[in-house]
A and B are shown apart, each in its own frame.
Chain A
Amino acid sequence: MRGRWGGTRVVVCVLILAMARGLAAQDRPVVFLHGLGSNSNGWVDTAERLRQQTAIEPRLPDFNWRKSFQDQAGDVRNRPELAALTAPVLVGHSNGGLVAREWSRGRHVDGVVTIGTPHRGAPLMPNFFQWTSFNAAAPSLLNTTLRAFSDWTDFSWTFWYIQNALNWVADFSIWAVFSLGTTLGFDAALPVAGQMHPYSSYVSDVNSSTNLGREASDIPSRVGVVSVAHNFYWAGPARAAVPDLADGIAVALYGAAFGLEYWAGYIMIEADPSDFAATEQAFSLFTVASYILAIDPFYCRVVSTYGLNDCVENDGVVPYTSQEYPNAPNMYIGTDNDGPAHVQERQRSGDALYSALTWYMHIPNRGSTPTPTPPPPSPPAPGDPSPAPSGGSAPTGSFVMQPDQVLYPDDRIDSVNGLYHFVYQADGNLVLYEENWAPLWASHTDGSLPGLVIMQSDGNFVLYDGNGVALWASGSSVNHPGAYLIVQDDGNVVIYEAGGGALWATGTAR
């Protein structure tokens, strides 16, 4: 939620002063970065709890979230009080996670924790116009119903019982756009908005193999926190805007929809087929009910993919597939659809952030021996992209894809001898070429919307299109944590399990 800038600054100053009194010499500086349409206020309570638990010195800057990620990062990291920090840990919520990654391009950081961050863009941003258009149909549909019932029939009395449902829908269709837009800051003109498009050059650049490689070498510790919101699907827009009220809104939404369906069915049963007006009344109710019941499926697609092709588990705003920090370990909360919604993540992810700071950032508990607790469990296979112990036997090098490593369009892996090239092409095809660039093997996915190819930590090597749909997979996903892929000097591309056994191959050995 948006806060008030002046009030926030006062709160932050008071907090920092209070914290300063209790700082120990070894406390690690941790900078908490807010996201779109927000300010540092939302971090205050969580930062204080974490300060009490762990040896950290929280910093909570405010910055202009409307600017480009580069400008936001530049503004905040160059502030004298923050520029003086030699090795801070950055914790970024939502867009703040991308500000953190951007920060690391210009100044050394010791670690980055992201939570609910749209690493691969936020489809909601470019899809918001379609969401608006979807809701814009409601007033006309409602007036069609009003017109149908103004033709008096033996069933016009039912209007008394349906009026509240129709009134609620009339408000909801407007609220769902207005409330969401203002809550998330979509109502403002944002330079950053274009960068949040899943296919923006910014998203492509920040997740390029070049930048991911830089992050892997420059940032010692990285981790993403991924949340699937409680009942994320039901009354989806309310999960995003007012998650604490969302269950109640879902009751109203489905009460309205099914109430109208039932009354429509009642009229259908009773009305003589020649009673044109009554049948019109029934079908007008069916139509409004259909619109209401389409809200959740449509909103989920709006959040999930650019192109509205799929519904992906999400936190109300960002699909889990985008929240995952590429080429880094990820922690999952709400795997039973009971995690915090996007706007709750700063306040209600304390345990996960505690684990992130202690386990992944190696920050000791305050006043105790540095014995971090294990991180939360990872989700089950096969979609599990979380890190798994590899047994330490996997080879390393540019010819290897380690668990969770990703190929983006135009990325390639070359064999050590340089004769073979495994390329994820911009046309969506994954192709193995030999020395003279003659193709040896292909996934035959050319013409698809480019997305990424990932060596999943479950052992499966999967090509996802730009909508997140798996188009091709090696099928080697059954309980093979730590499996890795090698482009061999003999022209064969092989997936090996951690113990060394071959799981899959292109069968192109020369």
Chain B
Amino acid sequence: MQIICARKRAMGWLVVVGTMFTTGWSLCGVRAESQGRGSAPAPPEQANTEHAVDALSADMTIRQWRIAADGKPLGADPPSFTMKLQRERHGQGWHTSLSLQRAEPPLVQGLSGPRALDNPFLVARFEYDDDGTEPKMYDVSGRVMAGPTEADRARLGLPLDLRDPSWDPTALAGRARGAARGAANRSAANGLLLKQADHSQRRADLQQRFGPRAGQVRGLDRFVHTFGPEVHELLVDPALALTMEMNVSGQGGLLSHAVFEYQPFGKADLLRHHAQAQRVIPASGGSRIVTDVTIANVIVDTRGGR
């Protein structure tokens, strides 16, 4: 089975990408074999997912940090955390829960020496059913809680004339209200589990979204789409039609850059087990926020197939 990954090239952040990016970011959608990379991580639980999935669980670890334009860490990072994803069929859709498994406690210099702080304000669990009902969140004590409300916003007491005039989500929120909430024909994890054999369908989807490929970059098919002032670029493995890199450019530079890695899963599937995105913090001299998502311990249950 072919293992595909996306990784940074050894030359760091100095590679000019394709024909559209002239900033100091590199892209790294390359075949592992061609770069002499070691073997892929041990495959997770093997499962025959040729039947439709009825239930799925996985651990999703999110690490985030800020870096300067030269790639050096800026410090004061948010905590990393791991959440357990669980999905089960629920009526015409899915019951989804994301439960906090572990959150990295901040380390502070205390009167008695260094110590880790427990966060009493963690949101421990999120649940959503694809049936139009409200999502639910629970705190660490199991109590239902809400995200910030307009009352919370009002409690800040920010004078209206100090509010950011460029911020107005009203129209977009109105448009989103009442729109589709999940779809019955979706699989348990379109974004995580992909069938190798579906490469033709994936390529067709890509061409429908982006049109025909616009050449190749480092052996990867390149698709380009213009969205307002931004240019979106997708670099895709030509054989499996898997997205390896995503880039957004605009305002004279690269605004975001994401890479993806896959590993074999079961007999015929691929698991997108790692994604990392860097997004420019506007007006910050080129500093970026990095989000790193790792998927592990994936278990699927077909319950005999459907």
Pick the residue among B77, B183, B227 that contacts A297 (CB under 8 A): B77
Collect the chain A residues with CB atoms within 8 Å of residue B289's CB. Answer: 287, 290-291
Q: Is the CB of A253 within 8 A of B282?
A: no
Q: Is the CB of A175 within 8 A of B227?
A: no
* A313–B281 alpha-carbon span in the complex (Å): 29
Closest to B98 in A: A262
Collect the chain B residues with CB atoms within 8 Å of residue A122's CB. Answer: none
* A146–B176 alpha-carbon span in the complex (Å): 12
User: Known: A168-B153, A251-B121, A255-B145. Is A174-B163 also a contact (CB below 8 A)?
Assistant: yes
Collect the chain B residues with CB atoms within 8 Å of residue A157's CB. Answer: 176, 178-181
User: Known: A170-B167, A269-B85, A283-B277. Is A150-B111 also a contact (CB below 8 A)?
Assistant: no
Q: Is the CB of B176 within 8 A of A158?
A: yes
Q: Is the CB of B282 within 8 A of A140?
A: yes
Interface string of A254-274 (1 = CB under 8 A from B): 111111011001111111111
Collect the chain A residues with CB atoms within 8 Å of residue B87's CB. Answer: 269
Collect the chain B residues with CB atoms within 8 Å of residue A136's CB. Answer: 283
Closest to A250 in B: B121
User: Known: A283-B291, A301-B76. Is A255-B111 also a contact (CB below 8 A)?
Assistant: no
Closest to B63 in A: A290
Interface string of A156-200 (1 = CB under 8 A from B): 111111111111101110110011000000000000000000000
B112 at the A interface (CB under 8 A): yes
B120 at the A interface (CB under 8 A): yes
Q: Which of B258-303 contact A (CB under 8 A)?
A: 258, 260, 272, 275, 277, 279, 281-284, 289, 291, 293
B220 at the A interface (CB under 8 A): no
Q: Is the CB of A140 within 8 A of B75?
A: no
Question: Number of contacting residues on A, CB 8 A?
Answer: 105
Pick the residue among B121, B162, B234, B284 that contacts A254 (CB under 8 A): B121
Closest to B135 in A: A161
* A175–B162 alpha-carbon span in the complex (Å): 9
User: Known: A142-B167, A265-B85, A286-B291. Is A167-B153 also a contact (CB below 8 A)?
Assistant: yes
Collect the chain B residues with CB atoms within 8 Å of residue A163's CB. Answer: 169, 172-173, 176
A456 to chain B, nearest CB (A): 11
User: Known: A274-B243, A320-B111. Is A258-B126 also a contact (CB below 8 A)?
Assistant: yes
B11 at the A interface (CB under 8 A): no
Collect the chain B residues with CB atoms within 8 Å of residue A156's CB. Answer: 175-176, 179
A192 to chain B, nearest CB (A): 26
Collect the chain A residues with CB atoms within 8 Å of residue B123's CB. Answer: 254-255, 258-259, 262
Q: Is the CB of B282 within 8 A of A137?
A: yes
Q: Is the CB of A382 within 8 A of B243?
A: no
Q: Is the CB of A311 within 8 A of B279?
A: no
Interface string of B129-164 (1 = CB under 8 A from A): 000001101000000011111101101111000111
Closest to A145 in B: B169
Q: Is the CB of A283 within 8 A of B169?
A: no
A-B contacts at CB below 8 angstroms, number? 297
Q: Is the CB of A266 within 8 A of B128?
A: yes
B99 to chain A, nearest CB (A): 10
Pick the residue among A146, A283, A297 that contacts B279 (CB under 8 A): A283
Pick the residue among A170, A174, A261, A268 that contacts B275 (CB under 8 A): A268
Q: Which of A409-448 contact B (CB under 8 A)?
A: none
Pick the residue among B60, B122, B205 that contacts A272 (CB under 8 A): B205
B34 at the A interface (CB under 8 A): no
Collect the chain A residues with CB atoms within 8 Å of residue B42's CB. Answer: none
Collect the chain A residues with CB atoms within 8 Å of residue B182's CB. Answer: 270
The stretch of B24-32, B43-51, B187-195 in contact with A is: B187-195
B249 at the A interface (CB under 8 A): no
* A319–B73 alpha-carbon span in the complex (Å): 24
User: Known: A137-B282, A287-B279, A320-B111. Is A170-B164 also a contact (CB below 8 A)?
Assistant: yes
B225 at the A interface (CB under 8 A): yes
A233 to chain B, nearest CB (A): 5
User: Known: A160-B177, A248-B152. Is A272-B190 also a contact (CB below 8 A)?
Assistant: yes
Collect the chain B residues with CB atoms within 8 Å of residue A141's CB. Answer: 281-282
Collect the chain A residues with CB atoms within 8 Å of residue B230's CB. Answer: 147
Q: Is the CB of B106 within 8 A of A150?
A: no
Collect the chain A residues with CB atoms within 8 Å of residue B241's CB. Answer: 274
Q: Is the CB of B78 within 8 A of A290?
A: yes
Q: Is the CB of B145 within 8 A of A310?
A: no
Collect the chain A residues with CB atoms within 8 Å of residue B227's CB. Answer: 151, 277
Q: Is the CB of B169 within 8 A of A167?
A: yes
A171 to chain B, nearest CB (A): 5
B117 at the A interface (CB under 8 A): yes
Collect the chain B residues with CB atoms within 8 Å of residue A449's CB. Answer: none
A304 at the B interface (CB under 8 A): yes
Pick the residue among A174, A247, A255, A276 that contacts B148 (CB under 8 A): A255
* A309–B62 alpha-carbon span in the complex (Å): 24
B5 at the A interface (CB under 8 A): no
User: Known: A136-B283, A270-B186, A273-B260. Is A383-B148 also a contact (CB below 8 A)?
Assistant: no
A451 to chain B, nearest CB (A): 13
* A167–B164 alpha-carbon span in the complex (Å): 10
Q: Is the CB of A255 within 8 A of B282?
A: no
Collect the chain B residues with CB atoms within 8 Å of residue A268's CB. Answer: 60, 191-192, 275, 293
B83 to chain A, nearest CB (A): 7
Collect the chain A residues with CB atoms within 8 Å of residue B128's CB. Answer: 266
Q: Is the CB of A159 within 8 A of B272?
A: no
Q: Is the CB of B85 within 8 A of A254?
A: no
Q: Which of B71-118 contact A (CB under 8 A)?
A: 75-79, 81, 83, 85, 87, 96, 98, 100, 106-113, 117
Collect the chain B residues with CB atoms within 8 Å of residue A321's CB. Answer: 109
Q: Is the CB of B167 within 8 A of A311?
A: no
Collect the chain A residues with CB atoms within 8 Å of residue B149's CB. Answer: 164
User: Known: A233-B108, A271-B190, A294-B76. Is A276-B246 also a contact (CB below 8 A)?
Assistant: yes
Collect the chain B residues with CB atoms within 8 Å of residue A137's CB. Answer: 281-284
A497 at the B interface (CB under 8 A): no
Collect the chain B residues with CB atoms within 8 Å of residue A332's CB. Answer: 111
Q: Is the CB of B191 within 8 A of A271?
A: yes
Interface string of A271-295 (1 = CB under 8 A from B): 1111111011001101101111110
B58 to chain A, nearest CB (A): 8
A360 at the B interface (CB under 8 A): no
Q: Is the CB of A311 within 8 A of B121?
A: no
Closest to B193 in A: A269
Interface string of B231-256 (1 = CB under 8 A from A): 01010100001110010100000011
Q: Is the CB of A171 within 8 A of B209?
A: no
A144 at the B interface (CB under 8 A): yes
* A95–B51 alpha-carbon span in the complex (Å): 71
Closest to A279 in B: B246
21 residue pairs of the A-B complex, CB under 8 angstroms, read: A137-B282, A140-B282, A141-B282, A144-B279, A156-B179, A159-B169, A161-B134, A168-B153, A178-B162, A179-B156, A233-B117, A249-B156, A254-B119, A265-B98, A293-B64, A294-B66, A296-B106, A297-B79, A301-B76, A321-B109, A381-B112
Kindly list 6 other residue pairs between chains A and B, CB separation below 8 angstroms, not including A157-B176, A249-B156, A284-B279.
A158-B176, A161-B147, A175-B156, A255-B146, A266-B96, A296-B106
Top 8 A-B residue pairs of the complex, sorted by shortest distance between their CB atoms: A293-B78, A140-B282, A258-B123, A168-B148, A157-B179, A262-B126, A379-B111, A290-B64
